[in-house]
Copies of this chain bind each other. A is one copy, B any other.
């Protein structure tokens, strides 16, 4: 059901509309904001004054205007606030500190020792984050909060990670409460794909798109979507499982219950398994000598690197994965009619262009997708830090993005 709206909410909404208008531009003016938002010049002026007084927005330089008086250029003040982003991945933890514009000021990566319990890990991550802030000289009162990206599914109402596939220790971990306890700041959590998409919205390709989908190639394959300018989470907050779209009905069985879904065919583990199988058959490859020494060394990263170095075995497996990803992209485009599809996550390292080219080719060669709308394809430029940067963006987004939910708490 819908619920009604009240006057005070409009104030917050319009402030965030103005702020967003400044954030997505490379310098803008009060006049431009009024033109773009439909708010009166007077309303914009009042809001901008308030934003400047609070230090969130700053005037920097000016541009000539037709009317004579030069227009002052408005920008987000990068030092207005700082946010910590933490990505808890099955194999490593990435931590970033970003400024108000979402730019990373400090980064830290830690491989995980397999025996570490979640609580100990969260404690360690909090200590590292505290140290990064101290090194930057950021005072506590300037820290807006901490965002954490975790493997899904997430129970938002309880702040839990709920039974992530193949990570038994992380079942029902109250990550929001524990992290807040150890770090001492407010914490927002979300799954890695949603975080990466919000990061893209805040500081990447998604800045200009009202409808875009994010295909997240991490340890598993997930997804997220911005629809009608809002992140869409679904009835149970588990939308975007693009990794479980079937691309090969007779393919490998997946824990999701499908056979041959994208994750079963193209996860980093599946790609590694397929290359190992070819090497076991004695195929010629740059990877063969290393594989004979120690198969573990021929991991997903090594395979992707070999693929761009034109190793035939690696390239064949990656090309097949690219086709499956492209099939999935066509389904996403047809079902969701997004204007932009972003590919990201550490699974695209080295092979981003191979995947992007194949997805673009498939979308261009399918008349339905081509005729009714074109879909721009992009690869995230945030690299391996995408989910950590996205985790930080969760906090910026929650505080500053205009969201109709601010107007009308929609109840389930």
Question: CB within 8 Å of B: which residues of A?
Answer: 1-5, 7, 10, 13-14, 17-18, 20-21, 24, 36-39, 43, 153, 163, 209-211, 223, 227-230, 232-242, 244-249, 255-258, 327, 330-332, 334-339, 365-373, 402, 404, 407-410, 412
Q: Which of A1, A255, A330 has the most CB of B within 10 A?
A: A1
Least Cβ distance of A86 to chain B in Å?
23
Q: Is the CB of A228 within 8 A of B232?
A: yes
18 interchain pairs, CB-CB under 8 A: A2-B37, A4-B18, A7-B7, A227-B227, A227-B232, A233-B337, A234-B336, A234-B337, A234-B338, A239-B335, A242-B334, A244-B331, A244-B334, A255-B368, A256-B334, A257-B330, A258-B330, A258-B366
Q: Is the CB of A366 within 8 A of B335?
A: no
Q: Which residues on the B side are within 8 Å of A407 (C-beta)? A: 5, 404, 407-408
* Interchain CB contact (< 8 A) of A3 among B17, B245, B335, B373: B17
Least Cβ distance of A239 to chain B in Å?
4
Q: Which residues on the B side are within 8 Å of A211 (C-beta)? A: 234-235
With the chains together, A229 CA to B236 CA distance in Å? 14
Q: Which residues on the B side are within 8 Å of A4 (C-beta)? A: 13-14, 17-18, 37-39, 43
Given A14-B5, A223-B335, A331-B246, A238:B372 Cβ within 8 A? yes
Q: Which of A4, A223, A233, A369 has the most CB of B within 10 A?
A: A4
The quantity of this chain's copies bound in the complex is 2
* Interchain CB contact (< 8 A) of A235 among B38, B43, B339: B339
Q: Which residues on the B side are within 8 Å of A367 (C-beta)? A: 255-257
With the chains together, A238 CA to B163 CA distance in Å? 36
Q: Is the CB of A5 within 8 A of B1?
A: no
Q: Which residues on the B side are within 8 Å of A368 (C-beta)? A: 241, 244, 255-258
Q: Which residues on the B side are within 8 Å of A163 (C-beta)? A: 371
Q: Which residues on the B side are within 8 Å of A371 (C-beta)? A: 153, 163
Q: Which of A2, A256, A371 has the most CB of B within 10 A?
A: A2
With the chains together, A255 CA to B373 CA distance in Å? 16
Q: Is the CB of A337 within 8 A of B236?
A: yes
Given A258-B330, A334-B256, A228:B410 Cβ within 8 A? yes
* Interchain CB contact (< 8 A) of A410 among B5, B223, B229: B229
Q: Which residues on the B side are within 8 Å of A336 (C-beta)? A: 234, 239, 335
Q: Which residues on the B side are within 8 Å of A238 (C-beta)? A: 337, 372-373
Least Cβ distance of A205 to chain B in Å?
14
Given A4-B38, A247-B249, A249-B249, A241:B335 Cβ within 8 A? yes
Q: Is the CB of B335 within 8 A of A372?
A: no
With the chains together, A254 CA to B113 CA distance in Å? 50
With the chains together, A2 CA to B24 CA distance in Å? 11
Least Cβ distance of A357 to chain B in Å?
18
Q: Is the CB of A335 within 8 A of B334?
A: no
Least Cβ distance of A225 to chain B in Å?
9
Q: Is the CB of A20 within 8 A of B2?
A: yes
Given A153-B372, A210-B412, A2:B246 Cβ within 8 A? no
Q: Is the CB of B337 within 8 A of A237?
A: yes
With the chains together, A408 CA to B407 CA distance in Å? 10
Q: Which residues on the B side are within 8 Å of A242 (C-beta)? A: 334-335
- Inter-chain pairs besides A3-B39, A7-B7, A227-B232, 13 sampled, C-beta below 8 Å: A1-B21, A1-B24, A2-B20, A4-B18, A5-B13, A234-B373, A235-B373, A239-B337, A256-B368, A257-B366, A257-B367, A332-B335, A407-B407
